[in-house]
Amino acid sequence: MNLHNLFAKGPSVPEIYLSEVPEDYQQTEVQYVDVREPNEWNEARMPGSVLIPLGALAARVGELDMSKPVVTVCRSGRRSIDGGQILLSAGFADVVSLRGGLIAWSQAGRPLVR
């Protein structure tokens, strides 16, 4: 048995800090994909982000533009790393996860849709 295969997590997803997301982030070609559940999305979300829950992401990658960069977002930054791995495995070349997720976003006073 090859233990290395049991612990392989797939492609590594880099993280970006909130300070790297410009204030005018909605004016860029970047796709912001929220991988939380619909009930979380309905409570609060980044303006301009699109909801594709983590459990549905692999089946719905076709809804995203592979030629544009993607930032995955969740509540704290953990599920978004898993979402980024799914996208990298599906062939997306430019994927990062927002470190700290919506918790960091909200604490920094960035706008939320409620």
Alpha helices (H) in the chain, listed in sequence order: 3-7, 38-43, 54-60, 79-89, 101-107
CATH of 14-107, one of 3.40.50.300, 3.40.50.1360, 3.40.50.1820, 3.40.250.10: 3.40.250.10
Catalytic residue among 74, 86, 96, 98: 74
pTM beyond cutoff 0.85: yes
Alpha-carbon distances, residue 24 vs 45, 47, 81 (angstroms): 16, 11, 23
Spell out the domain ranges in the chain: 14-107
* The pLDDT value given to residue 11: 63
pLDDT of residue 1 exceeding 90:
no
Q: How many Å apart are CA 24 and CA 14, to the nearest integer?
A: 22
Average pLDDT, the chain: 91
Q: Is 74 a catalytic residue?
A: yes
